[in-house]
Structure 1
């Protein structure tokens, strides 16, 4: 990279770090149960267990309560598509990287997991992790995830490259890094047979952003939850049937 451009980008990144005020993690329960509205819910089947691990998108930054965050929205959509109740829980923290998921969150998950949702990447990009570092961490997390759960669904990084709170040159550089990270992640997921939801390149719905201009608001989480659930190729195998 051109030394002058690199200096400018580092300066802009430092400015953003000390200027952008990120929305905090909202209060509320980080676990719950959702029921499907379909009559098939009366079938005698076990609830599905959904565990989500990740960064601020899993932690719900951008909304006022955990009940409006990403994971319970995903759980509700799974319940509607399968006709089964879904017990959900989250392990997350603002600023988390794939390394934190690997060494902190996944070791905390025990018991049988039907669906494990992994969501991180933006903070690895902001921390300037190299592609080789990302590939190593991401592959390790995917291997751990498959050992813990029957089904794994992964979400890409968010869209920091479209945040109006960041300078234009920094956004352009972040966009390049998001593109590279997404391609690497998709390749690994294909090789391992893991479903992958590309949220980073979706056309955003109106009012997507929260007040901090960096995280999704309620409409953004609703859009993201739909993208994640639509990427779950395994859902038909989990659909309840009445015998």
Structure 2
């Protein structure tokens, strides 16, 4: 947890959070699978392929099983949107920054030699909590998107989750983190536009973060239900244009 963010009160709350929050580890279970389009009548149509790389949200932290996480839920959402089965895999790490994605996770996926219909990049909250600068964020995200072109022609970058609503954090710290996320999002929008990637800003979307079942028992990560709420928002933000572009490819 960052110690130098926002106001002195926010810094004090960050110190307290660092010593009191016990984050959920990545759960067990398979970090891959196939999500079926329920009305699929042609078994000869190959599934779309989706790979996700990133932080604890990709790793399904906050759930009891990898199959309950954000990425399989997103694969199910894509299956319904594209009216096709989706074969998915997730490569996530608790605490991963975009720099870790750049130097560790992305190279590991590239070694497989696979090409995917959709590539999802999800990181950013740990960069903020580690006090990484916007220039560092810009450089790492740009490099990731450059290198990710070999993996997919359709790249989606997800913003951090809504840290301003996390019940484990103090009010001053939440306000400071919201400001930092907004600044990061502005940089991300520019970088993604330059690299022809789709940026999905979920920071202020209504994902029912105030619902009693949104957060997991660690009061930091979303629960399985929270992830499903987030996926509804991601699919809505991507809209029909994304579906049409990929269908035409």
Fold similarity call, TM over 0.5? yes
Which of 204, 215, 220 is residue 209 of structure 1 equivalent to?
215
C-alpha deviation, 1:227, in angstroms: 2.3
- Judged with a 3 Å threshold, the aligned counterparts in structure 2 of structure 1 residues 46 and 204 are, in CA distance, closer, same or farther, namely closer
Map 1:47-66; keep pairs closer than 5 Å.
47-66=47-66
Q: Is the 8 A contact 1:81 1:239 kept in 2?
A: no
1:123 aligns with 2:126: yes
Aligned counterpart, 2:188: 185
The two structures have a TM-score, normalised by structure 1, of 0.90
Matched-pair contact (CA < 8 Å) for 2:202–2:233: yes
Partner of 1:42: 42
Deviation, 1:12, is: 2.4
Any runs of at least 4 consecutive aligned residues in structure 1 with deviations exceeding 6 A, and if so which?
A: none
SS of 2:58 mapped into structure 1 = helix
Q: Relative to structure 2, which stretch is displaced further, 117-126 or 191-200?
A: 191-200
Deviates more, 1:203-212 or 1:56-65: 203-212
In 1, the alpha carbon distance for the partners of 2:237 and 2:203 equals 14
Quote the residue 2:242 is aligned against: 234
Q: Secondary structure of the equivalent of 1:150?
A: coil
CA contact (8 A) 2:206 2:233 kept: no
> Which residue number in structure 1 is paired with residue 21 of structure 2?
20
- Could you tell me whether the CA contact under 8 Å between 1:83 and 1:239 is conserved in 2? no
User: Hey, what's the Cα distance between the residues in 1 that align with 2:225 and 2:104?
Assistant: 30
> In the alignment, is the contact (CA less than 8 A) between 1:196 and 1:231 conserved in 2?
no
Q: 1:35·1:79 contact (CA, 8 Å) conserved in 2?
A: yes
SS at match of 2:50: strand
**Matches of 1:194 and 1:223, distance apart in 2:** 23
Q: Secondary structure at the match of 1:234?
A: helix
Aligned residues: 236
In 2, Cα distance between equivalents of 1:135 and 1:189: 10
Is the contact between residue 115 and residue 150 of structure 2 (CA under 8 Å) also seen in structure 1?
no
Q: Which moved more, 1:79-88 or 1:172-181?
A: 79-88
The answer to whether the 8 Å contact 1:115/1:149 transfers is: yes
What TM-score does the superposition give when structure 2 sets the normalisation length?
Answer: 0.88
> Where in structure 2 are there 5+ consecutive unaligned residues?
none
Quick one: distance in 2 between partners of 1:9 and 1:37?
A: 47
Q: How far is 1:6 from its partner?
A: 5.0
2:161 aligned partner: 158
Please say which of residues 116-125 and 137-146 is displaced more in the overlay.
137-146
> Which has the larger displacement, 119-128 or 43-52?
43-52
Q: CA RMSD in A?
A: 1.9
- The answer to whether the Cα contact below 8 Å between 2:17 and 2:169 also exists between their aligned partners in 1 is yes
Q: Matched residues in 1 for 2:49 and 2:140: separation?
A: 25
- Of 148-157 and 188-197, the range deviating more from structure 2: 188-197
What are structure 1's unaligned runs of at least 5 residues?
none
1:225 positional shift? 1.4
